Amino acid sequence: MAVMYLNALVAGIMEGALIGLVGMGFGLFYWVTRIFHLAYGAIFTVGAYVAFQVAVTWQMGVLAGLVAGSVAAALLGVVIDAFLYQPLTRRGVDHHMLLVSGLGANAVIISVCIMIWGGLLKYYRSSGLEDPLELGPILIIPLQLLGLLCSLGVYGLLRWLLSATMVGKSTRALIADPEVAVIIGVSPRTVRLVIAAVTAIVAAWGAILRTIGVGVSPNMDLTVLITAATAALLGRRNGLGSVLLAGIMLGIFQNVGSILIGGEWKTSIALIVLLVVLTMQTWFPILRRTRTGGGQAAQARTAPPLPQ
């Protein structure tokens, strides 16, 4: 029994890293736009399907699939923000309308995926990376280990992007105080499009690493959205590093919980955690993080896009 829980812990860490990977993209988009990106699951799904099409159907290999899936996801992310979210934001619609529009875009994109690839599971493997390795009593799947390393690498890349580039500095300024950012010459439209592309690529990488050996299906968008949003909500106070850590913790909860109450509850565990977080925010206002005012006060009350 102890070995079972130990393996669940190890698998949870590795699976949770991918949750944190997608959650970092979801959270970064929210910090910049203040939009709860309900179409993010569809971007994840499109990245996975395009990668499958290139890698398996066209037999061009996983690396080519990764590139194609990333490009497709980036283009879709930019299109959604440029032609859906930004026009609605300029018209001054409230957050409820933005939520509904994102949900509608998600439904349309998933329907198109079903029309193109069908509704059945698309399964593919990658050179034995899905075969478990035995390290004493512990079983490690190389592909999951690769996902953990990739998540840490993406975290480092995002940290570098946000701290050492002009785009990153503009992004930080826009997060801290949009009005002041515009005054000093930051273009919110340009920054948003860049972040939309970057976060979509992050989703595509998470999608490809998560679906190799498991399969691609059109109904995985909701699961991805729930877990990514939960990780982003849990870790939003201290930036990307906390989101990644929250994803790992969520992966552990899911895997250990699957042993205790059954594997069919794995997705529900993430939903339960999300509901608990939202309930705590409702009943304990001190847990909320709002942005009012400007300058340093606004920046202090906004989740920073860099780990602490």
Q: Half-sphere exposure of residue 132, counting CA atoms within 13 Å on the CB side?
A: 10
Chain-centroid distance of CA 166 in Å reads: 23
- Which residue from 44, 87, 34, 89 is spatially nearest to 201, judged by alpha carbons? 44
Please report the pLDDT score of residue 281 as a whole number. Answer: 66
Cross-strand pairs, 139: 134
How far is Cα 181 from Cα 187, in angstroms, rounded to an integer? 8
pLDDT in tens, 196-234: 999 999 999 999 999 988 889 998 888 888 899 989 988
How far is Cα 103 from Cα 116, in angstroms, rounded to an integer? 20
Vertex 126 angle, CA 122 and 131, to 5°:
105
Vertex 262 angle, CA 259 and 268, to 5°:
110
What does the longest C-alpha to C-alpha distance in the chain come to?
61
Q: How do 138-140 and 133-135 pair as beta strands?
A: antiparallel
Q: Which residues of the chain have pLDDT under 70?
A: 126-127, 281-282, 284-308
Please report the pLDDT score of residue 304 as a whole number. Answer: 45
Please report the pLDDT score of residue 288 as a whole number. Answer: 54
Cβ(31)–Cβ(175) under 8 Å? Answer: yes
Report how far apart the first and last C-alpha atoms of the chain are (Å, whole number): 37
Provide the residue count of the chain: 308
Q: Looking at residue 130, what DSSP letter applies?
A: T
Q: Looking at residue 238, what DSSP letter applies?
A: G
How far is Cα 258 from Cα 43, in angstroms, rounded to an integer? 27
- Which residue from 47, 55, 3 is spatially nearest to 25, judged by alpha carbons? 47
Ordered by where they begin, the domains of the chain are 2-125+134-300 (1.10.3470)
Please report the pLDDT score of residue 296 as a whole number. Answer: 42
The two tokens of residue 139 are 């079983």
Cross-strand pairs, 133: 140
Please report the pLDDT score of residue 127 as a whole number. Answer: 66
